[in-house]
């Protein structure tokens, strides 16, 4: 698995991508000062996007069905969890844009090669807001487990 968006898994059989670009903006307001540099204040995280691009060869890799599945997910208007193949949790993302370009056509008009670009935009506030404070959750879990073990007489 390279990446998972909700239940859609990016892999060789579906949508193998050859590049992944992650961009994040951060807001800073400036206030001009007389005789000094402008003062800046952090106003929060801005737009965060992930763009994956690749080429599909329907005889070898995924094809139009995989792209159609992503289009259906996009049309539902839902946010989906995005998780990397290495276990990195990126957050909740919506499908903002899907582009495809078919080239090298068969005689029936089907492309031998489909270049695609998928743009995802993050919509959750933060991983802490999405999952809560993991340290607090782990502490509560350990305390609850210790309490339950104490009530059944396990030391």
CB 66 within 8 A of CB 56: yes
What is the residue-level pLDDT of the chain in tens, covering all 155 positions? Answer: 999 999 999 998 888 999 999 999 999 999 999 999 999 999 998 999 999 999 998 888 777 888 989 999 999 999 999 999 999 999 999 999 999 999 999 999 999 999 999 999 999 876 665 555 556 666 776 777 777 667 766 55
Contacts of 3 (CB under 8 A, 6+ apart): 9, 10, 17, 20, 52, 82, 83, 84, 85
Would you kindly state where each structural domain of the chain is located, as residue ranges? 3-33+40-124, 126-154
Q: Which fold has domain 3-33+40-124?
A: Elongation Factor Tu (Ef-tu); domain 3 (2.40.30)
Rounded Cα distance, 92 and 12, in Å: 23
């Amino acid at each position: 698995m390279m990446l998972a968006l909700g239940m859609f898994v990016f892999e060789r059989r579906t949508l193998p991508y050859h590049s992944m670009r992650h961009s994040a903006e951060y807001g800073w307001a400036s206030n001009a000062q007389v005789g000094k540099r402008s003062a800046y204040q952090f106003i929060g995280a801005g737009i965060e996007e992930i763009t994956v691009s690749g080429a599909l060869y329907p005889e070898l890799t995924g094809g139009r069905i995989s792209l159609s599945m992503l289009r259906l997910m996009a049309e539902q208007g839902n946010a989906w969890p995005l998780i990397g193949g290495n276990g990195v949790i990126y957050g909740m993302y919506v499908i903002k844009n899907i582009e495809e370009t078919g080239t090298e056509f068969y005689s029936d008009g089907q492309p031998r090669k489909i270049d695609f670009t998928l743009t995802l935009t993050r919509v959750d506030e933060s991983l802490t807001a999405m999952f809560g404070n993991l340290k607090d959750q782990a502490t509560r879990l350990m305390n609850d487990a210790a309490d339950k073990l104490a009530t059944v007489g396990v030391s």
